[in-house]
Structure 1
Amino acid sequence: MTTQFPVIDRRVISMRWGDMDAVGHLNNTYYFRYLEQVRIEWLQSLGYGIEPDAIGPVLASTSCTFRKQLTYPATLEITIELEKLGRSSLKLRHHFYRQDDPGTVYASAEVMLVWVDYKAEKSVPIPDPIREAILQAAPQA
């Protein structure tokens, strides 16, 4: 597995039978659900779950390029890679791999997160512990 951006985390997801579409491969909407799940798990591992009365990330943009179909059964490894770390925004790349085929990228995605005060609906700086965890995982950032 080689990536262009520093990998700050990796997460594993097992595909479910019901995640497939009518032609037998992973439904395109589930790529985005899986991305959401790996980001939420990553943030929770840093001690920052989503709390509606606090601050946290909102999704500013996302895209996914489907390279090779994913079929059930499969255990996927999805990377979280740092593309850009801003004051209040974080641009991430993700790559989807099958654990039984780790050299093949099945999909790649890009996500822009912006930290906000949910009640005030204004951007805020990314919390220092998250910034420090990112910089520790990707010191060249």
Structure 2
Amino acid sequence: MEKHLPLLDTRRISMRWGDMDAVGHLNNTCYFRYMEQIRVEWLEELGFPIDPQGTGPVLGSTSCVYKREMSYPATVLISIEVEKVGRSSLKLRHHFTVAGDENTVYAVGEATLVWVDYQAGKSVAIPEPIRARLRAAGADA
């Protein structure tokens, strides 16, 4: 059984017809695209859009465990949960459910983000406003 993690947000993505694979299920690559999209939107709303001239996250690692197939049409709900916070890294967990079937977990993804100075190519501390948001959600940040 998974431990309860601090929830930062839940995002919605409407599955597109073209997101399905040859057997009519959400293509495995789309899970990673969906995770990326919700992270970028979340960061933008926090006031930290991706700026190649400044600092921001790079993807350190990502994974996804597929539990059940999803098929079109569906509104996919994806959680953003805090798993671990380091000096410059943030590990997130994402649960994929479907609107109208929120009790069924279709997939569980993880992503580790590392904050870097894009120009210098070196890690930097996670910005304090993001840490404050993580703490407000109950994370050890």
TM-score bracket for the superposition, by shorter chain length: over 0.9
Query: Aligned runs of 1:48-63 on 2, under 5 Å?
Result: 48-63=48-63
Matches of 1:114 and 1:105, distance apart in 2? 27
Q: Find the counterpart in structure 1 of residue 9 from structure 2.
A: 9
Q: Which amino acid aligns with 2:41?
A: E
Q: Which amino acid aligns with 1:113?
A: L
Q: Which amino acid aligns with 2:25?
A: H
How big is each residue's C-alpha offset from its partner over 1:35-91, in whole Å with a ceiling of 9 and x where there is no partner?
A: 000000100110001000000000000000000000000001100000001110001
Q: Find the counterpart in structure 2 of residue 103 from structure 1.
A: 103
Query: Aligned runs of 1:25-64 on 2, under 5 Å?
Result: 25-64=25-64
CA RMSD of aligned residues (A): 1.3
Q: Which amino acid aligns with 2:11?
A: R
Matches of 2:140 and 2:122, distance apart in 1? 29
Q: Specify the SS of the correspondent of 2:18.
A: helix
Q: Which amino acid aligns with 2:23?
A: V
Q: Find the counterpart in structure 2 of residue 78 from structure 1.
A: 78
Q: Specify the SS of the correspondent of 1:100.
A: coil
Q: Specify the SS of the correspondent of 1:56.
A: strand
Per-residue deviation at 1:126?
0.3
Q: Which amino acid aligns with 1:64?
A: C
Q: Find the counterpart in structure 1 of residue 133 from structure 2.
A: 133
Per-residue deviation at 1:3?
6.2
How big is each residue's C-alpha offset from its partner over 1:22-47, in whole Å with a ceiling of 9 and x where there is no partner?
A: 10000000000000000001001100
Q: Which amino acid aligns with 1:87?
A: R
| Percent identity of paired positions between Structure 1 and Structure 2 | 61
Per-residue deviation at 1:8?
1.1
Q: Find the counterpart in structure 2 of residue 123 from structure 1.
A: 123
Q: Find the counterpart in structure 2 of residue 66 from structure 1.
A: 66
Gaps of 5+ in 2: none
Gaps of 5+ in 1: none
Matches of 1:18 and 1:100, distance apart in 2? 22
